[in-house]
Amino acid sequence: MSRVVFLKERCKGCLLCTQVCPKGIIALSGEMNQQGYKIVEVAPGKMEQCTGCASCAMICPDTVITVYKTVKPGQPVKPGEPGEEVARVNG
């Protein structure tokens, strides 16, 4: 399952990521961080829809988002790809 991880303390709540997500799963959370900004989240239960396209991370001005993309079985991470050394097995 592809997924995105938000670094909550860096988010400034500009909402640009909500506009570019092709699945529309990112939304304002109602939570506030220590900087005092209302931050975004992936709506509960909607993370399965994430395709790992990284559009949200590319438009984020504060590099809040890290994107993990699923590698299909039988499709090993190619040598030299950025994710090679971190490919791992989920429990």
CB of 22 to other proteins, least distance (A): 9
Binding flag, residue 68, other proteins (CB under 8 A): yes
Binding flag, residue 59, other proteins (CB under 8 A): yes
Binding flag, residue 2, other proteins (CB under 8 A): yes
27, 43, 47, 54: residue in contact with other proteins (rule CB under 8 A) = 54
Rounded to whole angstroms, the Cα distance separating 32 from 30 reads 7
In the chain, the amino acid numbered 73 is P
Of the CA atoms within 13 Å of residue 23, those in its CB half-sphere come to 18
Binding flag, residue 20, other proteins (CB under 8 A): yes
Give yes or no for a contact between 21 and 47, defined as CB atoms under 8 angstroms apart: no
Q: What is the DSSP letter of 73?
A: T
Binding flag, residue 84, other proteins (CB under 8 A): yes
CB of 86 to other proteins, least distance (A): 5
